[in-house]
Amino acid sequence: MSLKPYSKLPELNTANVLLVENEEEFQKRLSEAIVRQENSVNVTVRLARCLPLPVENAEGRPRIDLVVFIVHLRSEQSLLSTEASLKHLDSGYFLGKVCFLVTGARSGTVSYERLASIKRTAASLNCPLLMTEDKTTEGVHTAAQRVLNILKVSAGLVPMASGLYLSTLIRCSMPTDSDWQNQD
């Protein structure tokens, strides 16, 4: 059963974000950072290894306003797991309720193919793609801030703004051949 964005009603001053990460290592720190930063609205962070989510507690689960896929460029498994999880997401989520978080892009040892692949995926789904640093505290802090900004919009907490605008304004652009050459 795929996750559906509009099957539940929104709650007052509440935003729920789902962090999907195969390794379950970065998401804990990120969730702590997110909760620590935000105090004007109630932010609930839910963690998952992969999608689909278990059916048992589907009833008690609140409306998920934003799904964040964390991709570590260091491991191929992380990329594959993300691509497998994407299939279990309702198409409504791709209207500004999905975002990708890429870590380790600065490391020179990772292959550029992985980054290009995730960029292509994000571009084809019209989703924003954030580059973050997971090793330092400031990096996690910044990542949390950026996720929060997007979350507030997609949860409808910012008046006169909607997640639909996000997908057109800050979506990832398709990597071109010149990008390849620059990398080389």
Partner 1 sequence: MDLFAELQSAATQLEKVALMCCHAPAVPNGKKANSPTDILRIKEQMSNQCFEMTVKLKAGKSRIPGETSDAEKDVSECENEIEEAKINHCNKTLALHRMQIWQAISEKVKQNDTEAGRMRASITHTLDLCSKIMKLQQESRDLQDEVTEVQKQKLEVKRLTHEKMREMEELKRMREHPEEGKYSKVLQKGQSVLEKYQRMTTITQNVLRGVIIASRINWRDDPKLRDIALGLESMPDCD
The residue ranges that bind partner 1 (CB under 8 A) are: 5-6, 9-10, 12-13, 40, 91-92, 95-96, 145-146, 149, 152-153, 155-164
Give whichever of 91 and 107 is closer to partner 1, judged by the CB atom.
Answer: 91
Pairing assessment for the beta strands 98-103 and 129-132 based on DSSP bridges: parallel
Give whichever of 111 and 156 is closer to partner 1, judged by the CB atom.
Answer: 156
Q: How many Å apart are CA 63 and CA 119, to the nearest integer?
A: 27
Smallest distance, partner 1 to C-beta of residue 7, A: 10
* Beta partners for residue 130, in sequence order: 101
Q: Over the Cα atoms of the chain, what is R_g?
A: 16
* Beta partners for residue 99, in sequence order: 68
CB distance 24 to 48 below 8 Å: no
Give whichever of 55 and 160 is closer to partner 1, judged by the CB atom.
Answer: 160
CB distance 103 to 73 below 8 Å: yes
Give whichever of 91 and 173 is closer to partner 1, judged by the CB atom.
Answer: 91
Smallest distance, partner 1 to C-beta of residue 168, A: 12
Smallest distance, partner 1 to C-beta of residue 6, A: 5
